[in-house]
Amino acid sequence: MSDLINTVLGLYNYWIVIFLMMCGFYIVVAHDNLIKKLVGLNIFQASVFVLYITFGKVSGGTAPILGEAFHVYSNPLPHVLILTAIVVGVATTALGLALVVRINEAYGTIEDDEIHSQDDEP
Amino acid sequence: MALTAYAVARLHNLYAVVMLAGIYSLLAAVMFVVLDAVDVAFTEAAVGAGISTVLALGTLALTKSREKTPRHTRILPLAVCGITGAALVYGTLDLEHYGDPSAAPHHHVGPEYLARSIPDTGVPNVVTSVLASYRGYDTLGETTVIFTAGVGVVLLLGSWRRKEDDDA
Amino acid sequence: MHNFLVLRVIAKLLLPFILLFALYVQFHGDYGPGGGFQAGVIFAAGFILYALVWGVENAELVLPRGLLRFCFAAGVMLYAGVGLYDILAGGMYLDYSVMAQDSVKGQHLGILLVELGVGITVSTVMVTIFYTFAGYRR
């Protein structure tokens, strides 16, 4: 029984991440609105960030800024990767939003299926 | 966080969706502080809650703010997500538990960086020294990606287009 | 955008602190949490606040578009240039140890310059993207 509780507590963070990931995935797959899709992608992205940072955590550790008083630090490598990923993420999201604006201009809509039906017509 | 993500999936008003996405980012930042990643939390708070919300609102102002109700059924995507999620949960059963110091990632280059940062570079913030020195190539590449994205946005929406349209 | 007195006063009060904080984060990144990426986004966020409250036209008087475009290329060039300088100084690409007599000092200098390049690029790209979105079709 205590084994089970241990497993659940140990893996709880990963499960939350998976739930968030699936929420993002569902939004991307099921919604036709392009802005909503981008927000879904962002949610998916943030869940991956949390996953990486979770890997880097060491119990009893502190932030990886070296000092006399501490001996246990969290793993700095995931932090570096995610730090750059966040900024790159917002830059690419901005590019996506710019594309949405242009699509709206060309087709007069930002709904995926309406764009497809317009493409099929002529 | 889970609740905000769920609300984003349900809502149709895109303004509310964008604001909720901002709240979601802020919660993620709080989570990063709890997980000892202060540098990351910093960035996420400034980017997620600040800049990306402003940009998304700007896009909404240029397009439409309400999502149409989709015509087709949502059972298939839901099923796909459920199956993928279940497979991933099954995969987590083999992972090391949260905060376990004996986990595999902590026996690779991580400790090496922590031990060598001061003698090699004299920089106490290991995140900075890894970012700029040990993984300098990565960071150069990422800076270039940001640069390219900036150029892309300017080319897509920049003012030179408008001048061309006026001439025509 | 003319009657929001509270907004304007508060924004004016906060702005110097946001920009100063960004600079602190930029140059103190070696010792505390911070670095080029964070400083860049904080600086950009502060500037976007200015542009939101006083309008993009006024913001462009402070930071014109041409300057921004120049800067975001200059940031990447600074980063890559540090790498090239290292080759010329006899080291490997992006090996900062050769930049000063003492390899630790060289590393320190290299990190500072590289972070500065990152900070310049990130902040100017973010502000440019905001300008472009805000100035589109007006």
- In sequence order, what DSSP letters do the residues of B29-94 get, joined into one string? HHHHHHTT-HHHHHHHIIIIIIIIHHHHHHHHHHS-SBPPPPSS-SHHHHHHHHHHHHHHHHHHTT
Q: What residues of chain A lie within 8 A of the CB of C35, using their CB?
A: 83
Closest chain A residue to C39, measured at CA: A87
The Cα–Cα gap between A90 and B146 comes to: 9
Burial of A106 (0-12, 13-18, 19+ CB in 10 A): exposed
* Domain interval for residue A16: 2-120
Using CA atoms, how far residue A2 sits from A6, A8, B24, B102, C82, in Å, is: 6, 10, 33, 21, 56
- In angstroms, rounded to a whole number, what is the distance separating the alpha carbons of residues C23 and A43? 30
d(CA B167, CA C91): 52
Q: How high is the pLDDT of residue B72?
A: 62
- Residue C126 domain boundaries: 5-135
d(CA A43, CA B132): 28
Q: Based on C-alpha coordinates, what's the Rg of chain B?
A: 22
A-C Cβ pairs (cutoff 8 Å, strict): 26
Residue C37: name the closest of A63, B55, A79 by CA. Answer: A79
The model's pLDDT over A57-79, given as tens digits with 9 standing for 90+, comes to 777 667 777 776 676 777 778 88
Q: Name B164's Cβ contacts closer than 8 Å, sequence gap at least 6.
A: none
Counting the structural domains of chain C, the total is 1
pLDDT digit string, tens, across residues B98-124 = 766 666 666 666 677 777 777 776 677
Using a pLDDT cut of 90, give the percent of chain B over it. Answer: 0
Q: Which of C37, C129, C136 faces A87 most closely, judged by CB atoms?
A: C37
Residue B125 DSSP label: B
Question: Residue A35 has what pLDDT?
Answer: 83
ipTM of the complex as predicted: 0.79
- Most B CBs within 10 Å, among C82, C107, C120, C123, to test the B interface: C107
CA distances from B26 to B45, B127, C33, C82 (A): 6, 21, 18, 35
C128: tokens are 């440019």
* Closest chain C CA to residue B124: C31
Instruction: Give residue C131's pLDDT.
Output: 84
B141 touches C: beta carbon within 8 Å: no
Residues in B touching A91 (Cβ below 8 Å)? 145-146, 149-150
Q: What is the DSSP letter of A108?
A: S
Quick one: CA dihedral C94, C98, C100, C104, positive or negative? positive
Query: How confident is chain A (122 residues) per 10-residue block, as mean pLDDT?
Result: 72 79 82 82 86 78 70 77 85 87 80 79 68
- At position C7, the amino acid (one-letter code) is L
Question: Looking at the predicted structure, is the pLDDT value of residue B9 above 50?
Answer: yes
B133:C129 CB<8 A: no
C24 touching A (Cβ < 8 Å)? no
The confidence score (pLDDT) of residue C21 equals 86
Number of compact structural domains in chain A:
1
Burial class (CB in 10 A: 0-12, 13-18, 19+), B114: buried
CATH number for the domain spanning A8: value is 1.10.287.3510
Instruction: Report the gap between the CA of A52 and the closest CA in chain C (Å).
Output: 18
Does residue C1 have a pLDDT over 60?
no
Residue B138: pLDDT above 80?
Answer: yes
**Is the model's pLDDT at C80 over the cut of 50?**
yes
**Residue A122 distance to chain B (closest CA, Å):** 23
pLDDT band at B168 (very low <50, low <70, confident <90, very high): very low
| Integer Cα distance of A27 and C100 in angstroms | 52
pLDDT in tens, C5-61: 888 888 888 888 888 888 888 887 777 777 778 888 888 888 888 888 887 788 888
Q: What's the pLDDT tens digit per position in C83-99?
A: 888 788 777 777 777 76
Average pLDDT of the residues of chain B: 75
Question: In the numeric block, which tokens belong to residue B23?
Answer: 């709240």
* Shortest distance, CA C5 to any CA of chain A (angstroms): 31
All residues of chain B having their beta carbon less than 8 Å from the beta carbon of residue A111 are 67-68
CB atoms within 10 A of CB B158: 20
Among B75-79, B86-90, B145-149, C28-32, the minimum mean pLDDT is found in C28-32
By the CB < 8 Å criterion, does A63 face chain C? Answer: yes
Contact criterion met (CB < 8 Å) for B153 and C128: yes
The two tokens of residue B158 are 């920049």
Between CA C131 and CA C135 the distance in angstroms is: 6
Residue B115 has, within 13 A of its CA and on its CB side, a CA count of 7
Partner A contacted by C126 (CB < 8 A): yes
Tally the residues of chain B: 168
Q: Which of A32, A67, A82 sits opposite B124 (nearest CB)?
A: A67
Pick from C104, C51, C39: nearest CA to C75: C39
Cβ–Cβ < 8 Å for C125, B149: yes
- The residue assigned the tokens 């975001």 is C72
* Chain C residue with the nearest C-alpha to that of A87: C37
Residue A50 near chain B (CB below 8 Å) = yes
| d(CA A112, nearest CA chain B) in Å | 10
Q: How many CA atoms lie within 13 A of C67 on its CB side?
A: 8
What is the C-alpha separation between B36 and B33, in angstroms, rounded? Answer: 5
Q: Do A94 and C129 touch (CB under 8 A)?
A: yes
Q: How far is C120 from chain A (nearest CA, A)?
A: 13
Decide if C133 touches A, using CB distance below 8 A: yes
pLDDT reading at B2 higher than 70: no
| pLDDT for residue A74 | 75
Q: Locate A109 and state its tokens.
A: 């809509």
DSSP 8-class letter at B96: P
| pLDDT in the model for residue B73 | 65
Nearest CA to C44 among A87, A84, A45? A87
